[in-house]
Chain A
Amino acid sequence: MLHTLTIHAAADLLRAGEITAAELTEAALGRIYAVDNAVKAYLTLTPEAALQQAAAADATIAAARRDHALDHLSPLAGIPLAIKDVISVEGVRTTCGSKILENYVPPYSATAVERLAAAGAVILGKTNTDEFAMGSSTENSAYFTTRNPWDLARVPGGSSGGSAAAVAADACLAALGSDTGGSVRQPAALCGVVGLKPTYGRVSRYGLVAFASSLDQIGVLAKDVTDAALLLGTIAGHDPRDSTSVDVPVADYLLGVRGHGSGGDGQRSGDRGQGAGVRGLRVGAPKEYFIPGMQPEVEAAVRAAIGVLADLGAAIREISLPHTDLALPVYYLIAPAEASANLARYDGIRYGLSTPGATLWDGYRLTRGQGFGPEVKRRIMLGAYALSAGYYDAYYLKAQQVRTLIKADFENALREVDVIACPTSPTTAFRIGEKADDPLSMYLADVFTLSLNLAGMCGISAPCGFDAAGLPIGLQLMAGAFQEATLLRVAYAYEQATGWHRQKPHIADQRR
């Protein structure tokens, strides 16, 4: 059952020589073959490369043991991971969930992927995504819809639905995703896993296929908070190849989580009490995030979670983020506008689908008209309209001004509290097809996550219960810029006091 391990538990066993990286990767691949016909998390599997990487990790671990240098070994050495298909892995087909990149093979890897590879991690394959990361259910993938492991008739959320489902199904030990308006946090909530969006600029965007450049961040999906901390610590940091990457030191996130750091003393890692704890921390519950229209069980679970934080010694107060109801229209003007610019590169000249036309221009129109799916075309047009002459001031500029107000709401609130606690999603996982015909209704799935991207700050979703149908509910915590250590600390204390993350979905073995 090696595929059910967390990164930190597997790292202990690898260091102790009780398992090998090859065995761990074989177990993950075995799990994928058993369940992925039903879950459909993966677009591309790379089993041969994965086993080679695992063998290399075994050699690295053996050398470290020989040299008495196990303490210097990255906890990611030999750990099998999945990568969302909007993040480039050199030599591996990267589709962005689109037909326009059906056969695109990147000639380079994203910085985040390079850092994982340098740490000795193993890449199992690329996970399904809404096309170009535009969506909240993975139904906009041009290939297929990923299923929620907790109920295969329901969506896993999106756009990092493949990554979230893979983690929930133990079809990888953890995964990378991307979050522009909630695309890591919302699927994490719907799939009952941990999903973290770093502060804008914390993790390099080099190699993340651009959707909305002022909002995008690579995020992590993991089985528990400790794993999220380990992954973040590996991929975070300044990158000269991304001019929006910030040169701020990477904190020791394990120190924040546990109250003691990642330095080696040979001790086993694993759950230990409350960690650094939340006593004395101030937690704000924004009144605008507890509204009619949200599923009552979601509200109840999140309020109970805030109650747990109070029992653990946090000071809870009600706060206000007054411009919350403007986040959706602001986001759905800024993100499409930026996307319309970023997706202009798909013209069939340097890569991707190339449909010939009577003229060069017809070639562009046909390539893009045929290669992009409906949601992508919708957003490109929305964005082009918002930026066009005569409408720029009323739409795009206006949205940017209101964005300033939304960001200021967070800055003001975070003077009064250290962390904001609220729901991640207004509902648990909805049925496949339920929102497919109403784009606006789909957009409302993101009301609680959009503001954080507009403000550029960090946030995490952690499991906090289930509804009557057994579907996961997520607690969202948000903190100020570069305050990931505080975020992880609060999430860890909550997780250790409640244990929701230990519950797993049952998925029937699909092998014949």
Chain B
Amino acid sequence: MRAAGRLISLELRHNAMPLMLPLIAALFWLTTYRKVMAMPPLWNVRAASLQMNSVIVFVAPLAGAAAWMGSRESRRRVTDTVSITPRARWARLLPTWAATTIWALVAYLGCVAVLYGATARQASWGGPLWWPVAVAAASLPAFTALGFAAGVFAPSRFTAPITAIAAFFILVVSTELIIGSHSYWQITPVVAYAWDLGADPGVATFYPFLPDLPIAQLMFLGGFTVTLLGALALTSEGARALRIAAVGLTVAGLAVAVTAVMLAGTGTMDAHGMIRIPALHDAADDQPVRFTPVCSRTAIPVCLNPAYSSYLAATAATLEPVLEQIAGLPGAPVRILQEAAAYKQDTCQGPGSRVRSGTCSPNGVEINPGSPMSGGSPLVYRLLLPAQLPGPALTTAQMASQTRGDGWDMVRNFIGDGPGASPAQDAVTAAIIMAGKQPGATATFIQNGQDGTDAGRAPGLTTGTPANAAAKRFAALPASARHAWLAGHLAALRVGQITVAQVP
């Protein structure tokens, strides 16, 4: 043991991996750190993105360095000298592989520490997700074993670059072959969430991170590593007991890896956007995460998951003008509560198309609010933040613009506006929105008659119609008069018993 430790120490000092570290650091900064830090400070999205990007960053230099080390004895023409020592080949090579892997793991964990350290300073709630870190970390021994075996079995000066390129392409091609959530190829360590969804901000915040796929991936990577190392021992001379152990190890590793691939093939995306593998699934993971929402001090409080607390001020400021118009009225919501998104695979017409107040991911996953817009007693309105949907990070203005539409939807829902609504309901809805001094509301509802970005949201409000005139009229009333009228006539308005002419 002491000798093995000393050999590893020597190998650590003379390993090719440290030469790769500047390249890895540069690639990590360029392709992972900058990208991840541009994402919202949410542990879920950053952890998933870290896994996906870091594996790709590490694989080529790592496999290349391992292949270089694996081919060292042949390249340096020491094969005869070392092969006549009593230490069996696998026992001689294992410290070299271990040293390469240790360097890789140290480098990777350093990258994780930097990124998670920065996230810890920025994130408002939750903690680091370790499953994605574990999967990416387990991929490193697997790729060093792959590169090392290539170097040992096909030693030449070209083995390292060829292995590096091949490993990179294997990884990239493996993701190209993923179709839907029911794919064996999900076993590739690049996949953190459902591949069609990517590093989605709405996943693993309201519900726990499902370890089903990571468990299968860890099984695969462990089995793959053991198989390759077992193959090294198989081809090495040794005592009968050692050879039997090597056969056992190789077969066991292979069996575990194949089982893991089969398990990954049974995975499906669940309603929370994560891959569920029935054989590995723990029902306890389906329970929502408990949290105390952070709420605004507005007439109707806007309450968000604490992970999204950085969005609270902007969201509340956007919704407050319309919410204060209805606050205190009979049947008005007591609060606006952020809700979890619900995910469905293969239901979208096309990328980016809207579904209710949700949307479709670039790869066609439908993302909707997980429950009806309003419900409960006392009444609560539910809100899906734009930040929960896939897409580029939004500016405050962009987010406010998208949230404003949700505010309008809430007013419509409150007044009973919608398909088949009366002109009076349309007029009152438009008036409340105008009175809320929502930027653009006057222009879109009154001047042009329609919201160009969301046609159909205010049917009947075209210029010159009685409803349009009624809306202008009602909006011009003092807030207290508008509020008093609504308090007395809301029930009748909702059931369509108020005409446009009766709107003051």
Instruction: Report whether chain A binds chain B.
Output: no
Q: Which A residues are within 8 Å of any B CB, using their own CB?
A: none
B residues touching A (Cβ–Cβ < 8 Å)?
none
